C-alpha cells in the first residue's frame, strides 16, 4: 500500500549513523573519547502542523502533566500491509487465510527485547507507563512538561488551536539513537485529546453550529410562531412556512426518533428477521472512551418500551477501566460527553441485530486509552466486527502518529477483523481547520469509513426518502407586521452537521478504490467514506438513557428518551448489518473494503446509490429548548456533495438488504 514507514525508518537510521559519525570525527579532533558521543534521532513528523509561532502562547507550565505515546517500527511493515490486503481481497490465493494474534505478534511486532529497551528508557526518565499492549506496537506514558522536555530533547509550549490551549513540542522531539532507531513516532502533543464522539443530539441549532454574528444572535432570540410537532414517521405532520423552494409553503416536520422496528423495516431487515437472521452467534465490539454506569438497565428499559427483546444473560459484556483510572476528562469532554455515544452505539446494534453479542471496550481517555482499548480486542481477537464512533479533527494529528495508529488497522485486517469508523459530523472540517480534510482514523486505507444519510420511513415502514446527510438551517422569524420570513436567503447560514469525508493528505489511493472513485475527486489519494447509513439527527434514532448529572461521582438522573444522529449512528448500524451477513453465510467478512469495491464493479445494484434529488428536500423543526423554528434543507454538506455513483458524502452508497445479501452469498 505504502512504504512511508520504511523510508522514515531508513532516513532516521541514516541520520543517526551520520550524526554518530560526525560526533566521532569532531570529538576525536578535540581529544575527547568517542565513547562519550551521544547521537539522537529527530522526529520532525511528530510535530503537529498547528504548533506554529503564530499560535504560540509560550512555554507550558513545568509541572503540568501530559500524556505521550511512542509507536515502534514493525519488523516488516511492507509485508504486513501487503498481507492485510491480500487476505482481504477476493481472488487472491491468500484470501481469508488470516493470522491469529499470536502469529501476528510473532511475525510483525517489535521483539520483546526491543520493546523492553524502549520502556526502560521511558522509566529512567521518570515517566509513568500507563499502557503496554500485548502486541508491543506502542507505549502510553505520562509525565510532567519538565520530564518530557528532558526525555525528548525539546521544549513543550502551549498553543492556541481549535479554540483551546493545547500542549505541543516547539521543535522536533528526539531520542537517543539506541532507542530511536526502534521508534517510528513520538506523540507528546495533545492533538489526540481532540478526538470526539461523532454523535449529535437533536436539539437547539445554536449548540451544533459554528460562531454567529451578534446581529444574528439578536435575530435568533425572536420567539417563533410555527407549530411544528415532530413526526413518528415521514410525513405524519407538516407545517406551514414562508414560501421556500419553487414557492412551496408546506413541509414535513422532523422525526421524533425512529425506533428499532422502523430501522429494521427501512433497511429491509425484517425479511431476514423472519428467517431467523438476527445476529445470533455473532459479536459486535464497540470502542468509546470511559463507560456509562447505567448502560445495561438503559438498554433493557429502552427495549421493553419498544417491544424489543431485552439483553439475555451474558449477551452484553464490557471491559472498562476503573473510574479512578479515567484521565484527561476535561480535554476529552468528560464521561457525560461520551455516555450518549456509548448508549447510541449499543442500542443501535441491538436494534438491528437483537440476538448478537455486544462487547464494549472503554478507553481510560480519548487518546492513548482508545489505542489500548483497540489492542485488547485485536491482541485476543475478541470480535471480528468493531464499531468505532469517534474521530480526530480532520487529519490534524502528526503524520508519524497517523502511521503508527494505522499499524493497528493493518493488524486488524491481517487477523480478519473489520474496523468500521464513523466519517465525522462536521463536513469538510474547513470551519475548524481552515482547509478541507477528512477525519482520521476514517481516512485510513485499512478501515471501512461510514458516511451518513437522512432517511424518511413512511407509515408502513418503507423507505420513502433518502439523501446525503448535511443540513443547512434557516431561522424562521416573525416580522413587525406579523408575517413570517427567513432570517437569511435559503438554504440559510447555520450548518447543523453533515457527514465527514474527502481526500486524504496523508494516504495514497488504495488499489481497491482505483477505477471506482473518480480520479477527478481522488487525484491519487485515499477518499472517504466507503459506505453510509442513517446519520441525520433530524431524521434520527431514539435512545433511552439515564444521563450522568455529576462527572465526579457518575451519578445519573432519571430515564429519558433522546434523539441522536451523527455518523456515530451510521457506524454501529453498518457493523450490525455486517453481523447479520456473517450469520447468514456462516463466514467472516473481515476488512470489507476490497470486497465492497469489487462488488461495485461487478454488481453495482448491491448498493443503494444516494444521488441528488430533483427538488430540495427539507423539514421544519422547532427547538424544544429555545422555541425557535427552522427550515432544515437536507443534502447540504459543506463542500462535499452527493452525485451518481461514488461520492464523498455517502461513498459507494447506503447499506441495504441487497448489499448484505450480496456479501452473505459471496457474490464477488
Give the mean pLDDT of the chain.
Answer: 90
Could you read off the pLDDT of 230-269 as tens digits, one per residue?
Answer: 999 999 999 999 999 999 999 999 999 999 999 999 999 9
pLDDT at 544 over 50: yes
Q: What is the pLDDT of residue 664?
A: 60
CA Rg value for the chain: 25
Q: What is the pLDDT of residue 38?
A: 55
Q: How confident is the model at residue 225 (pLDDT cuts 50, 70, 90)?
A: low
Of 9-23, 220-234, 512-526, give the lowest mean pLDDT range: 9-23
pLDDT at 662 over 80: no
Q: Compute, in degrees rounded to 10, the torsion defined by CA atoms 237, 238, 239, 240.
A: -150
Could you read off the pLDDT of 565-617 as tens digits, one per residue?
Answer: 999 999 999 999 999 999 988 999 999 999 999 999 998 888 999 999 999 99
In the structure grid, which three cell numbers stand for residue 642, read together? 452527493
Percent with pLDDT over 90 in the chain: 83
Q: What is the pLDDT of residue 666?
A: 53
336 vs 218 pLDDT, higher one: 336
Q: What is the pLDDT of residue 222?
A: 42
What architecture is the 4-74+109-189 domain classified under in CATH? 2-Layer Sandwich (3.30)
The H-assigned helical ranges of 512-621 are: 519-522, 567-585, 593-602
Residues 6+ apart with CB under 8 A from 196: 333, 366, 390, 391, 393
| CA–CA distance, 616 with 601 (Å, rounded to integer) | 30
Q: What is the pTM of this model?
A: 0.91
| CA–CA distance, 212 with 415 (Å, rounded to integer) | 48
Q: What is the pLDDT of residue 212?
A: 35
pLDDT at 320 over 60: yes
CATH number of 200-317+329-364+381-664: 3.40.50.200
Q: How confident is the model at residue 625 (pLDDT cuts 50, 70, 90)?
A: confident
Whether 180 and 140 have beta carbons less than 8 Å apart is answered as no
Q: What is the pLDDT of residue 205?
A: 76
Q: What is the pLDDT of residue 17?
A: 31
Give the position of cell 489526540: 192
Whether 391 and 442 have beta carbons less than 8 Å apart is answered as yes
The H-or-E segment that residue 86 falls in is: helix 77-86
15 vs 374 pLDDT, higher one: 374
Domain ranges of the chain: 4-74+109-189, 200-317+329-364+381-664
Q: What is the pLDDT of residue 657?
A: 67
Q: What is the pLDDT of residue 567?
A: 97
Q: How confident is the model at residue 271 (pLDDT cuts 50, 70, 90)?
A: confident
pLDDT at 13 over 60: no
Could you read off the pLDDT of 509-522 as tens digits, one per residue?
Answer: 999 999 999 999 99
pLDDT at 57 over 80: yes
| CA–CA distance, 169 with 488 (Å, rounded to integer) | 43
Distances (CA, A) of 504 to 260, 431, 438, 445, 613: 35, 17, 6, 10, 28
pLDDT at 88 over 90: yes
Cis bond upstream, residue 83 (ω within 30): no
Q: What share of the chain is helix, strand, coil (3-state, %, to 5)?
A: 35, 25, 40
Could you read off the pLDDT of 451-461 as tens digits, one per residue?
Answer: 999 999 999 99
Q: What b/e sequence results for 17-53 when a residue is b if at least 16 CB atoms lie within 10 Å of its CB, and e otherwise?
A: eebbeebeeeeeeeeeeeeebebbbbbebbbbbbbee
Residues 6+ apart with CB under 8 A from 272: 278, 580, 584, 657, 660
pLDDT at 22 over 90: no
One-letter-per-residue 3-state SS of 194-214: HCEECCEECCCHHHCCCCCCH
Q: What is the mean pLDDT of residues 474-500?
A: 94
pLDDT at 99 over 80: yes
Q: What is the mean pLDDT of residues 47-57?
A: 93
Q: What is the mean pLDDT of residues 285-296?
A: 98
| CA–CA distance, 284 with 354 (Å, rounded to integer) | 11
Q: What is the pLDDT of residue 305?
A: 98
375 vs 628 pLDDT, higher one: 375
Could you read off the pLDDT of 126-157 as tens digits, one per residue?
Answer: 999 999 999 999 999 999 999 999 999 999 99
Amino acid at each position: 500500500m505504502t512504504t512511508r514507514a520504511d523510508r522514515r525508518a531508513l532516513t532516521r537510521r541514516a541520520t543517526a549513523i551520520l550524526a554518530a559519525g560526525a560526533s566521532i570525527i569532531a570529538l576525536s579532533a578535540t581529544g575527547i573519547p568517542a565513547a562519550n558521543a551521544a547521537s539522537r534521532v529527530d522526529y520532525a513528523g511528530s510535530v503537529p502542523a498547528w504548533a506554529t509561532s503564530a499560535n504560540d502562547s509560550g512555554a507550558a507550565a513545568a509541572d503540568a502533566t501530559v500524556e505521550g505515546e511512542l509507536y515502534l517500527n514493525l519488523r516488516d511493515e511492507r509485508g504486513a500491509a501487503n498481507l492485510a490486503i491480500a487476505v482481504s481481497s477476493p481472488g487472491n490465493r491468500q484470501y481469508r487465510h488470516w493470522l491469529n494474534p499470536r502469529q501476528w505478534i510473532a511475525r510483525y511486532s517489535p521483539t520483546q527485547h526491543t520493546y523492553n529497551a524502549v520502556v526502560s528508557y521511558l522509566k529512567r526518565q521518570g515517566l509513568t507507563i500507563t499502557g503496554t499492549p500485548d502486541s508491543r506496537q506502542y507505549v502510553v506514558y505520562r509525565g510532567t512538561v519538565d520530564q518530557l522536555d528532558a526525555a525528548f530533547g525539546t521544549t513543550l509550549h502551549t498553543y492556541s488551536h481549535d479554540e483551546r490551549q493545547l500542549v505541543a513540542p516547539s521543535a522536533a522531539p528526539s531520542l537517543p539513537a539506541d532507542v530511536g532507531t526502534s521508534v517510528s513516532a513520538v506523540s507528546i502533543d495533545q492533538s489526540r485529546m481532540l478526538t470526539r464522539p461523532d454523535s449529535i443530539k437533536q436539539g437547539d441549532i445554536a449548540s451544533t453550529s459554528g460562531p454567529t454574528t451578534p446581529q444574528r444572535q439578536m435575530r435568533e432570540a425572536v420567539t417563533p410562531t410555527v407549530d411544528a410537532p415532530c413526526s413518528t414517521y415521514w410525513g405524519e405532520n407538516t407545517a406551514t412556512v414562508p414560501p421556500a423552494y419553487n414557492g412551496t409553503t408546506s413541509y414535513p416536520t422532523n422525526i421524533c426518533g425512529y425506533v428499532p422496528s422502523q430501522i429494521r423495516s427501512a433497511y429491509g431487515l425484517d425479511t431476514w428477521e423472519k428467517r431467523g437472521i438476527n445476529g445470533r452467534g455473532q459479536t459486535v465490539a464497540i470502542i468509546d472512551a470511559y463507560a456509562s454506569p447505567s448502560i445495561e438497565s438503559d438498554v433493557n428499559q429502552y427495549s421493553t418500551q419498544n417491544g424489543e427483546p431485552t439483553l439475555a444473560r451474558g449477551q452484553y459484556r464490557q471491559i472498562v477501566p476503573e473510574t479512578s483510572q479515567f484521565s484527561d476528562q476535561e480535554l476529552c469532554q468528560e464521561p457525560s460527553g461520551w455516555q450518549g455515544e456509548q448508549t447510541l452505539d449499543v442500542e443501535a446494534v441491538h436494534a438491528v441485530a437483537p440476538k448478537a453479542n455486544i462487547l464494549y471496550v472503554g478507553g481510560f481517555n480519548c487518546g492513548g486509552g482508545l489505542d489500548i482499548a483497540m489492542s485488547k480486542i485485536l491482541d485476543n481477537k475478541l470480535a471480528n466486527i468493531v464499531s468505532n464512533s469517534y474521530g480526530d479533527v480532520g487529519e490534524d494529528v502528526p503524520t508519524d502518529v497517523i502511521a503508527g495508529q494505522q499499524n493497528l488497522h493493518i493488524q486488524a485486517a491481517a487477523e480478519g477483523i473489520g474496523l468500521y469508523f464513523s466519517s465525522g459530523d462536521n463536513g469538510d472540517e474547513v470551519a475548524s481547520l481552515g482547509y478541507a480534510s477528512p477525519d482520521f482514523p476514517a481516512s485510513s486505507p485499512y478501515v471501512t469509513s461510514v458516511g451518513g444519510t437522512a432517511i424518511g420511513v413512511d407509515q408502513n415502514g418503507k423507505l420513502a426518502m433518502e439523501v446525503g446527510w448535511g443540513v443547512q438551517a434557516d431561522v424562521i422569524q416573525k416580522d413587525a407586521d406579523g408575517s413570517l420570513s427567513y432570517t437569511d436567503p435559503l438554504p440559510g447560514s447555520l450548518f447543523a452537521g453533515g457527514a465527514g469525508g474527502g481526500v486524504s493528505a496523508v494516504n495514497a489511493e488504495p488499489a481497491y478504490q482505483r477505477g471506482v472513485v473518480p480520479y477527478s475527486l481522488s487525484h491519487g489519494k485515499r477518499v472517504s467514506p466507503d459506505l453510509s447509513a442513517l446519520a441525520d439527527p433530524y431524521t434520527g434514532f431514539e435512545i433511552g438513557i439515564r444521563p450522568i448529572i455529576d462527572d465526579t461521582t457518575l451519578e445519573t438522573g432519571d430515564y429519558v428518551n433522546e434523539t441522536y444522529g451523527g455518523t456515530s449512528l451510521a457506524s454501529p448500524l453498518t457493523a450490525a448489518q455486517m453481523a447479520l451477513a456473517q450469520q447468514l453465510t456462516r463466514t467472516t467478512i473481515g476488512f470489507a473494503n476490497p470486497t465492497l469495491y469489487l462488488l461495485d464493479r461487478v454488481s453495482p445494484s448491491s448498493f443503494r446509490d444516494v444521488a441528488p434529488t430533483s427538488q430540495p428536500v427539507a423539514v421544519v423543526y422547532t427547538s424544544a429548548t429555545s422555541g425557535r423554528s427552522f427550515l432544515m434543507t437536507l443534502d447540504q454538506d459543506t463542500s462535499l456533495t452527493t452525485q451518481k455513483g461514488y461520492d464523498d458524502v455517502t461513498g459507494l452508497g447506503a447499506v441495504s438488504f441487497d448489499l448484505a445479501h450480496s456479501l452473505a452469498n459471496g457474490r464477488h
